[in-house]
């Protein structure tokens, strides 16, 4: 059973607008090594676990990653909240805001939308290490 308290566990209170920093941080939201990809990896890997304890641990880790996603989204939102269109364009976020407005959308800093293929890329990278 879940309870939802309408506050972040670690409140985000950014006072200064900085769309350039938001563009970098957004990769942690929806980029290949971001919180969304991590949560999906853990939540998917749980199905292949040999016992219920391992499944439960991966479930807990995956949902924790979703909480991180909420915090990173709050950071990006607050960094761009009061930005002028000139600041947004100067930061290279013009096309992003044309498509998504003030919503936080999962993508990399380079503008690539989140894709489930990130998981395959990361697995290949880990196998090479």
Q: What pLDDT is recorded for position 125?
A: 62
Kindly give the confidence (pLDDT) of every residue in the chain, 129 residues in length, as a single tens digit, with 9 standing for 90 and above.
667 777 777 788 898 999 999 999 999 999 888 999 999 889 988 888 999 999 999 999 999 999 899 999 999 999 999 999 999 999 999 998 888 887 898 988 888 888 877 766 555 665 565
**Reduced to 3 states, what is the DSSP secondary structure of residue 56?**
helix
**Could you tell me which of 65, 129, 73 has the C-alpha nearest to residue 100?**
73
Cβ–Cβ < 8 Å for 43, 58? yes
What does the domain layout of the chain look like in residue ranges?
19-128
Burial of 76 (0-12, 13-18, 19+ CB in 10 A): buried
Q: What pLDDT is recorded for position 110?
A: 85
Q: What pLDDT is recorded for position 84?
A: 92
pLDDT digits (tens, 9 = 90+) for 39-56: 988 998 888 899 999 999
The yes or no reply on domain 19-128 and CATH 1.20.1260.10 is yes
pTM listed for this prediction: 0.80
Cβ–Cβ < 8 Å for 37, 122? yes
């Amino acid at each position: 059973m879940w309870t939802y308290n309408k506050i972040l566990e670690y409140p985000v209170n950014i006072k200064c607008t900085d769309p350039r920093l938001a563009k970098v941080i957004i990769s942690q939201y929806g980029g290949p090594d971001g919180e969304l990809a991590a949560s999906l990896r853990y939540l998917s890997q749980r199905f292949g676990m040999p016992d219920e304890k391992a499944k439960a641990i991966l479930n807990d880790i995956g949902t924790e990653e979703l909480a991180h996603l909420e915090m990173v989204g709050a950071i990006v939102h607050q960094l761009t909240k009061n930005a002028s269109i000139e600041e947004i364009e100067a930061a290279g976020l013009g096309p992003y805001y044309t498509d998504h407005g003030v919503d936080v959308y999962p993508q990399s800093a380079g503008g690539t939308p989140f894709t489930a293929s990130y998981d395959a890329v990361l697995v290949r990278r880990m196998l090479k290490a």
